Structure 1
Amino acid sequence: MSLAEAFSLEGEVALITGGATGLGRAMAHALVAAGAQVILVGRRKENLEAAAQELGPKAGYAVHDIAETSRAGELVADVKARYGDVSILINNAGNHFKKSIEETEEAEFRQLMDTHVTGAYTLTRAVVPGMVERGRGNILFTASMTSFFGVPRVFAYTTAKSAYLGMVRSLAVDLSPKGIRVNGVAPGFIETDISRKAMAGDPARKQKVLDRTPLGRFGLPEDIGWAAVYLCSPAARFVNGVVLPVDGGMLVGF
């Protein structure tokens, strides 16, 4: 296998939830650059249209709220009819709020879990039969630093992202004998518009992040994109059931 073949995603059809913005959009850019046909999934048509236009002819989109879990099969059928069988699924969509357990209402907790966990479960369940039939596929979950350690006042989000670790391990064991690899990527602190605004108003938090990160800087969205390409490419054909931290060393920092 040549270097180009090892990292090529030519012929792949990748569905990325939350693909119109943030890290999902960065992953979409990287997958398109590697040759994949990418379908962006999200709730806001205007964002999806803008992102797909930016990405070019290898990108399409589908308007869908993954929290509407009963419609996961409809989404997969629609994508198959328009673009072909999904061979890569990236469970990236999510929401976030800062509240302790005392402040978190049950309805808020359920809504966040429906998006991150139940939404990812139902969509994964919908794509698996086609992957099994073809004997190949890749499923990727966007985890988080909160999957590994506690962060103050993000109880619900931490719970949801921690669940991804179990999903990756269990699915990898169940599905890899059928030709489907399952992995995750765990972004550290990445420089985005949202993070820049948040850190600008909280210099102490920014310094705490930098002090804990051995590389001494924030990551870039494309760092997550290229990690996703690797994990879904032939180069990672023997990588299965792992969650790859892309964090500048934060998990091992002191």
Structure 2
Amino acid sequence: MDADFSEKGVLITGGASGIGRATTHLFAAKGARVAISDIDEEKTRKAVLEMGNEHIAIPGDVSREKVVSEIVQTAQDDLGKIDVLLNCAGVSDVLVPTVEQSLENWQRILDINLTGTYLTSRAVAADMLRRGEGSIVNISSIAGLVGLPLRNAYVASKHGVAGITKTLAGEWGPYGVRVNAVAPGYVLTPMVQKLIDQNSIDQKLIQRRTPLGRLAFPEEIGNVMLFLASPLASYINGVVIAVDGGYTAFGAAGPAVDID
């Protein structure tokens, strides 16, 4: 048994950058035909051009129900069927005291991170349930396992993703559809780099707090998603796997590792 995705159709949201982009390449290398959806149309089409004509670009906003229906229908029509859904679309937030956070900011983050995951999963699952097979892998976060001060909306959205992952796994498992999630720690993506550049997060402090002493590379998250979606994980359902270098496992006071 291998993580072979030959003749498999994969839909990945948020696939034009960061973890999503790295993951598209991993699945394509294993033989999958990939439909990449992302809100940034130019980046989406560029990502597909890099990968080859057998893959397709479907730009769209996953927070809008009608758009999600169109994305999924287009992917199904082109791929024949969607065997794997990877919900990678997501946005971060600006660190702000709760009493100063606007409802608009709160709602935008939940709409994309949580509602987008819900809408896409629901739309794809209809055919998966009919066929009696399929795998969905969501991206939660260590923010979905713990609390992070000043980041209420992001934390709430990622706790929500972890919650619906477990709920859908219980509901759809009897029909042959597995639903799992990864909870990345800090990953060297454009989104995290922006927070570092804005001095919203301290990279050295994060590295000291992480037993492995570094941030993750996007491919390291993608490899776990590849595993969870594959037959190698055929009896794994409803789990949220922390891929964080030991960040959430470390409970001692002080740094986990010395970083100069």
Structure 2 length normalisation: TM-score?
0.90
Which of 153, 167, 187 lines up with 1:156 in the alignment?
A: 153
Runs of 4+ in 1 over 4 A off after TM superposition: 200-204
Q: Secondary structure at the match of 1:140?
A: strand
Partner of 1:97: 93
Which of 51, 54, 66 lines up with 1:70 in the alignment?
A: 66
Inter-CA distance 204–159: structure 2 relative to 1 (3 Å threshold): closer
- In 2, are the aligned partners of 1:90 and 1:141 still within 8 Å (CA)? yes
1:68-125 alpha-carbon deviations (Å, 9 max, x no partner)? 1233222211111222211111111112222232122122222221112222112111
Which of 230, 233, 244 lines up with 2:230 in the alignment?
A: 233
1:46-79 alpha-carbon deviations (Å, 9 max, x no partner)? 1011111112234211011111123322221111
Residues 71-90 of structure 1 aligned to structure 2 (within 5 Å) = 71-90=67-86
Inter-CA distance 60–204: structure 2 relative to 1 (3 Å threshold): closer
Partner of 2:202: 205
1:182-204 alpha-carbon deviations (Å, 9 max, x no partner)? 00011111123443454366498
Which of 119, 122, 143 lines up with 1:122 in the alignment?
A: 119
Q: Secondary structure at the match of 2:100?
A: coil
| Distance in 2, Cα, partners of 1:180 & 1:247 | 26
Determine if the alignment matches structure 1 residue 195 to structure 2 residue 185.
Answer: no
| Distance in 2, Cα, partners of 1:68 & 1:219 | 31
Inter-CA distance 131–188: structure 2 relative to 1 (3 Å threshold): same
Identity score, percent: 33
Give the counterpart letter for 1:11 in structure 2.
E
Residues 35-74 of structure 1 aligned to structure 2 (within 5 Å) = 35-74=31-70
| Distance in 1, Cα, partners of 2:230 & 2:155 | 29
- Cα distance, 1:130 vs. partner? 0.4
Q: Secondary structure at the match of 1:102?
A: helix
| Distance in 1, Cα, partners of 2:98 & 2:199 | 23
Segment of structure 1 superposing worse, 44-53 or 73-82: 73-82
Which of 6, 29, 35 lines up with 1:10 in the alignment?
A: 6
- Tell me how many residue pairs correspond in the alignment: 250
| Distance in 2, Cα, partners of 1:130 & 1:102 | 43
Structure 1 length normalisation: TM-score?
0.92
